[in-house]
Amino acid sequence: MKEDKRILKTKKNLKDTFIKMLSVKSFEQITVKELCEISNTSRITFYTHYSDKYDLMDDISEDMIKMAQIEYQDLQKKNNPMKDSVISYCNFLDCILNIYYKNIQFFSHTSNSENPYLSFSFYKYILKYLEIHTKKRSDFLKPKYSIKKISSFLCYGLWGFINQSHAENCSVDTVRKEIREILQSILYSEILTVNSKKLEKPNKKTTSTD
C-alpha cells in the first residue's frame, strides 16, 4: 500500500533537513527538537512517523537500498542476460557506487572519525544485501570460507576503497575503473571462491555498464 503524498512529502522534508544539518553538526549532536524546528515540522508529526533519529536514519538507508535494488535489476537485464556471476558482482558494485555519488552530500559526513554511527549504519545494509547476493551466486562461485566472512571482506574493503578515493578527490570514472579491476581480480583469482567452471575474463565491453 502506497503512502499518502502528504506523508511522503513530510518524510522527505525531514530527511533532506537531517542531511543538511550533518554539514554543520555531527549525528550525535543533532536532536529531534532542533530537526523539527529547522524543518518546520511538529514533534508530534515526527513521532507519528519515526520513533527517534535512529529510525529516521534507517529509513534514509532503506530508501537508498531500494533505489539500488531497482537499478541492479535494470543492469542485469541490460548487460547480463546470462547471469554471469562476475558481471553480477560488478553490477552490484556499480549500484553501490551510484548510491554513493548521488548522495555525496550525505556520505561526505559518514566517515568513522566524523560520524561513526552513520558509517556503520549504512555499511550494515550493504553487508546484508551482499550476503544475500553472495549466497545466491554460491552455486557458481563456491565459497572457500563462510558467506559472512567473504561478504564482510568484500564489503569492508570495497567500501573503504570508495571512501578513501573520495578523500583523495579521485574522479568517479577512475574509482569505478579501479574498484572494478580489484573486484574482478579477486573473483577470477579464486582467492575467496572455487569457480565451478573455469571463468574467462570477458572483454571491457562485456563488463561495462556505462
pLDDT in tens, 151-160: 999 988 988 8
State the average pLDDT over residues 105-123.
Answer: 85
pLDDT at site 167: 87
Residue 33 reports pLDDT greater than 70: yes
CA dihedral 144, 145, 148, 154 (to 10 degrees): -60
| 102 Cβ contact list (under 8 Å, min separation 6) | none
106 is written with which cell numbers?
550525505
Residue % of the chain over a pLDDT of 70? 91
CB atoms within 10 A of CB 5: 8
Q: Are 140 and 85 in contact (CB under 8 A)?
A: yes
pLDDT at site 208: 44
Higher pLDDT, 34 or 167: 34
Listing DSSP states for 136-193 in one string gives HHTTTEEESS-HHHHHHHHHHHHHHHHHHHHHTT--HHHHHHHHHHHHHHHHHHTSSE
Residue 209 reports pLDDT greater than 50: no
Higher pLDDT, 210 or 20: 20
CB atoms within 10 A of CB 146: 11
pLDDT at site 210: 42
112 is written with which cell numbers?
568513522
